[in-house]
Amino acid sequence: MSQISGTVVAITGASSGIGEATARLLAQRGCRVVLGARRADRLEGIAEQIRGEGGAAVTCVTDVVRAEDLRRLVNNAVTEFGQLDVLVNNAGISKIGPMSDVDVEGWSAMIDVNLRGVLHGIAAALPVFRRQGRGHLVTTVSTAGLKIVPNQAVYAATKNAVRTLLEGLRQESTDGVRRTTSISPGFVRTELDRSIDDAALGDQVRRNMDNFGIPPDAVARAIVFAIEQPHDIEIGDITIRPTLQN
């Protein structure tokens, strides 16, 4: 029996990549999972497979740019399973390109999803955590915020903004009610490249993913490690990347 069996975890961006892998691994460990993403058919297919293997999973169509969708995701966890122990803020997009392109629309989209989407999740989860007396926020950030490179300035800025707000929240949470964990993956074999509008940059990112990217379940294991810790222990930040990544 897993030590986190029965834990209720809601996950955004759960229809593929890191979110899907995390949902599957948590369900295998006995957690009850609430899957949130925009693709309803994909979500339900994953949930059906989890339930077919004896796990507990429900779905909730969620667009993180809509605060009401995050409230519904959290409410579904409480309604279906009686509580919410962990929220994994995982949804993200990458509209990378040179600043000289002045892609204001792409910049705004990354701010809406990567930063505002996390804030929406925090705002939805914190009241529940306070009522319960405990809760855990796990957020997917990126190594892009640790090593700044050309064409990723705004993307890195959104990730570092999230890193900053989580550290601020951590310092406000010494009552033990809210644990926070930032997960910073490097190249992972996901569908993130599909959100890149610049074809050449998208192809380059895809090649890097295919050539030396780590599988999503490697990141999922790091997330599970953080969740498994006793409630008086907080894993504040985990960086996980391919050994071949600069």
d(CA 3, CA 191): 31
Short-list 76, 93, 88, CA closest to 19:
88
- Would you call 117 a catalytic residue per the annotation? no
User: How far is it, in rounded angstroms, from Cα 138 to Cα 91?
Assistant: 12
221, two tokens: 């294991």
DSSP string, 141-200: --GGGTS--TT-HHHHHHHHHHHHHHHHHHHH-TTSSEEEEEEEE-SBSSSGGGG---HH
The answer to whether 81 and 30 have CB atoms below 8 angstroms apart is no
Single out the catalytic residue among 107, 129, 155, 187. Answer: 155
Positions marked catalytic:
155
